[in-house]
Structure 1
Amino acid sequence: MSSKSKAKVMFLKEEFADGEGTFKYPNKSKYEGQWKNGQKDGFGVHTLSDRSKYIGQHKNGLRHGKGTEIFPKGEKYSGNWKNDIREGKGIYTWPSGAKYVGEFKNWDLNGNGKFTYSDGGIYIGEFKDGKSHGLGKYSSLADGEEYEGEWKDDKQHGKGTHYDGDGRTYEGQWKNGEKNGNGILKVVDLGNYEGQWKDGEQHGEGSLTFENGYKISGEWRFGSPLKGTSSWPNGNKYEGQFKDWKWHGHGKFSVPDGHHIIGEFREHKSWQTIEYDKDGKIVGKIIDGVQTIDNSSQITPKLEVDAPT
């Protein structure tokens, strides 16, 4: 029998298939292509009952070599197969426009690759079990956002640098997609925060320095200072407690010549305080927010600006 006639054979039993021909399975799937000793072997097209289709190489009855799998809802894989499993380099596309080009192992995205999201965002780097995992870089075409560094389970995790596209750059540690640990946030035309973070907020020991030279150093809680020191380029300084970015609680404000105010502050204003001159003489007193000594100099300055977020 010639090879041409073999190509038109309709096999009635799979175990007798050899050469080229077609076999229809009881579940209504169909294979058209090359056979060897009753098994799919070589190039062929296998159409399943759910209308999905495989077009490519086979070996010993399994998908093996180069091949393309097309699903009813429009998803498509083209690439290498090994013993009926996606293995090696390949391309997977989705109807949404998303696309992955890279390495596969055990069916899934594993190894190095490039994933293009439906909104145009791009991730290039390492994958594990279908997720961004290891070293990689994400870039958003929509707003200019970028992150380059370590990933775990599709989230920033470890060390990395993030730019939000609007002048804010963070370099430091991450955990589960949030700033966690030590890091530096730089904000264009505003200033820098260097210190500890928790769940995306300044938390722990840290220092915030504004471009005008104003600085807050100390302990932070959930994005705002709790206690510490704020200082000015001219030498003025406040040491004490904060609440909602304002001096609140016990504290001391002083100027370089030794003149100072000490006591309780509320919302950045003296509440129960005593003012001393450089020689230690009392020159002012505030009780319940009311001045009780007329010659108080009222040296407390206005609060500067909030921290970068």
Structure 2
Amino acid sequence: MGNYCQQVEINDKDFASVSIENRQQPFLVNKFDTKSFNLNISDLRQLTQIESLNTTKSQSPEKVKMVPFNLKLHRKRTLHFESIQDSNVQTPTSQNREFFEFPNGVYKGSLVNGKKEGEGQFFYHDGSCFKGIWKDDMANGYGKIVFQEGEIYEGEFENDQQHGHGKYTSNQVKYEGEWKDSQPNGIGQEILKQHYIYEGEFLKGLKHGKGKIRWFTDGASYEGDFIENQINGKGTYYFPDGEVYVGEFKDGYMHGMGKFTWPDGKVYEGNYHKGKKQGIGKLTTHNLIYNGEWYDGVYNGFGILETQGKVIEGYWDNGIYQK
């Protein structure tokens, strides 16, 4: 005949000592008569510790890999360098010479009414050099600038700002994509040498919006939402050892509702708090199912454990069955 099973409604009174979500709404559980198991206390302890602490706490990564830098990798660089000022140099008014001196550098190219216009090359006093299209005395159109420290930007300019599509290269960083006001802004690809490759949206120089990132060091990857250079929102994280987490994130932690899958088939689906199972959740393995409350990564509070053909319903403390 099997064990006696009765479906009952549990209200707030039954859970006076247990913290549960949405207490205003009752929910249904299958309440089993544990007396029919004929188990003694030693049997219960052995049964309830089978995969409680070992499986649910130690084998679940608490934190996803953080984006290495919460800083802007791209310094905002403009063409208005004034490291050297020469008050004796006047703005040129004719094209009788090949080179023209300006307060912040030397220009080679065409002038119209004393202003840089058309194709030209400007050598700044600080060592930077720009070659490209000028309009109304400012870089407008396609051009290339080599900064004094060796960084290179090649692409579109608007009013002396990197603006439009362009490619930026330094000793550590490569970025190609959209720019606005001399910062990555829009869709682009960023490669940080020996660290990661990121493809997705940028805002004011930071990873912000939808994107995907893969780390070179261990092969971990993430695809989903970013906020100001950090994993925030909803997404999927692939751990190096084959675990997969799909759900909500906050400041680089698994936080909120999510589903964690292990390579051997174990699955947890429920609430997370700063990388740990906390709240209501369900763990399914090859030989047990636990559905109930969690705290700090282990069974804690009211829950139902089904294993080896037996069902235990009651309260848990730090992964250990109490009653």
State the AA in 2 paired with 1:17: S
Amino acid of the structure 1 residue aligned with 2:290: I
Structure 1's 62 and 92: CA in aligned 2 closer, same or farther, altered over 3 A? same
- 1:202 aligns to 2:287 (yes or no): no
What are the ranges of 5 or more consecutive residues in structure 2 without an aligned counterpart? 1-88
Q: Residue 231 of structure 2 contacts residue 250 of structure 2 at CA under 8 Å; is this kept in 1?
A: yes
**Partner SS state of residue 119, structure 1:** coil
User: Against the structure 1 CA distance between its residues 51 and 103, is the aligned structure 2 distance closer, same or farther, given a 3 Å change threshold?
Assistant: same
Contact 1:169 1:187 in 2 (8 A): yes
- 1:88 aligns to what? 164
- Structure 1 contact 20–34 (Cα < 8 Å) conserved: no
- 1:13-24 maps to which residues of 2 (within 5 A)? 13-18=90-95, 21-24=98-101
Counterpart code for 1:23 = F
CA contact (8 A) 1:205 1:218 kept: yes
Give the Å deviation of 1:20: 7.1
1:199–1:216 distance in 2 versus 1, CA, 3 Å: same
The 5 A counterparts of 1:1-309 are 13-18=90-95, 21-27=98-104, 29-96=105-172, 98-119=173-194, 121-189=196-264, 191-210=266-285, 212-227=286-301, 228-243=303-318, 245-247=319-321, 250-251=322-323
Q: Deviations over 1:6-42 (max 9, x none)?
A: xxxxxx7424134873112345x21111211100111
Q: Which residue type is aligned with residue 179 of structure 1?
A: M
| Higher strand residue share | 1
Q: Is the 8 A contact 1:44 1:55 kept in 2?
A: yes
TM-score by length of 2: 0.68
What is the deviation of 1:188? 0.6
Alignment CA distance shift 1:131-1:168 (3 Å): same
Bigger relative contact order (CA 8 A; separation at least 6): 2
Sequence identity percentage: 33
Deviations 1:146-189 (A, max 9, x none): 11111111111111001012111000111222111110000111
Q: Which amino acid aligns with 1:240?
A: Y
CA contact (8 A) 2:92 2:100 kept: no
What is the one-letter code of the residue matched to 2:156? N
2:115 maps to amino acid: Q
Q: Distance in 1 between matches of 2:214 and 2:194?
A: 11
Q: 1:213 deviation in Å?
A: 2.8
SS at match of 1:181: strand
1:61 and 1:89 map into 2 onto residues whose CA distance is 21
The Cα RMSD (Å) is: 1.8
Matches of 1:134 and 1:83, distance apart in 2:
27
- Give, in angstroms, the shift of residue 202 of structure 1: 1.2
Instruction: Confirm or deny: 8 A CA contact 2:185 2:203 kept in the other structure.
Output: yes
Map Cα deviations across residues 195-227 of structure 1 (whole Å, 9 max, x no partner): 0111121111111111x2312221222222212
Alpha-carbon separation, structure 2, partners of 1:208 and 1:52? 60
Q: Indicate how the Cα distance of structure 1 residues 174 and 82 shifts in structure 2: closer, same or farther if over 3 A, else same.
A: same
Distance 1:216 1:242 in 2: 14
Q: Which residue of 1 aligns with 2:12?
A: none
* Matching residue of 1:273: none
Contact 1:155 1:177 in 2 (8 A): yes
Aligned mates of 1:76, 1:125 — CA distance in 2: 22
The alpha carbon displacement at 1:43 in A equals 1.4
Write the letter of the residue equivalent to 1:164: F
- Aligned residues of 2:90 and 2:101 also touching (Cα < 8 A): no
1:229–1:239 Cα contact (<8 Å) kept = yes
Q: Which residue matches 2:28?
A: none
